[in-house]
Amino acid sequence: MSCCPQEYKFDGMSPVYKRVLWAVIAINAAMFGIEMTAGMMAGSQALQADALDFLGDTLTYGISLYVIGKSLRARTAAALFKGVTLALMGLWVFGDTLYAVLVLGVPQAEVMGLVGFLALAANLTSVLLLLRFRNGEANVRSVWLCSRNDAIGNVAVILAASGVWASGTAWPDLAVAAAMAGLFLWSAALIILQALREYRQRGDLVAEGNP
């Protein structure tokens, strides 16, 4: 990060950004319902992990929208909450994947592939909408990171579906679910560290008498 002078980062105060965020929230809410239903029907851990990410994004994007224009303390708290939530999600997916290893069942590769492509199209739309805002402050950047994770996860689900179909086993599905959990944890760490860094920098400015 830069030292002095402090580098300005976009904080979400834009009508355009708010409209984009509403659109992305709607996309994620719809895809959570579709993908979780399909994941349960197909017996796919990777699809259910990706659906859970959609749910987490819907909730955290709503929080992001709510705290736009509020104090640094409120925005930092929101970013920290999203980081912790993402970490808990990753731990849940790890645990669920380990459980599935003990009760292996082969998921339906065709359903995995079809829903994976649908989810990828939805997330690429979100990523393109958010692309110009990807370098904002922690609260704004967390939205970009979550959308990027979704798109990566969708590609991984499609690859897992191909692996399940080719091997006739559940291991590709479980491997992708575990990898997605790791991505959740890594992104959570990035969000939390940036939020804490921004909060400390703001505290230094206040201590120096700057607004």
Mean pLDDT score across all residues of the chain: 75
Which of 24 and 165 is assigned the larger pLDDT?
24
Token digits of residue 184: 């959740």
The domain limits of the chain are 31-207
Distances 83 to 25, 78, 184, 192 between C-alpha atoms, Å: 18, 9, 9, 5
Q: What is the DSSP string of 32-101?
A: HHHHHHHHHHHT-HHHHHHHHHHHHHHHHHHHHHHHTTS-HHHHHHHHHHHHHHHHHHHHHHHHHHHHHH
Nearest to 51 by CA among 89, 85, 78: 89
pTM for the whole structure: 0.65
Q: Three-class SS of residue 2?
A: coil
Q: How many DSSP H helices and E strands does the chain contain?
A: 6, 0
Instruction: Find how far residue 123's CA is from the centre of its chain.
Output: 10
Nearest to 124 by CA among 153, 160, 93: 153
Q: By mean pLDDT, which of 27-36, 47-56, 87-96, 103-112 is the weakest? A: 103-112
pLDDT tens readout for residues 111-141: 777 887 888 898 889 888 888 777 766 667 7
Q: Is the peptide bond before 15 cis (omega within 30 degrees of 0)?
A: no
Q: Residue 9 has what pLDDT?
A: 62
Is the distance from CB of 65 to CB of 25 less than 8 angstroms? Answer: yes
Cα–Cα distance for residue pair 151/53, rounded to 1 Å: 11
Side-chain half-sphere exposure of 22, counting CA atoms within 13 A: 5
Cα–Cα distance for residue pair 83/140, rounded to 1 Å: 12
Segment 74-90 mean pLDDT: 78
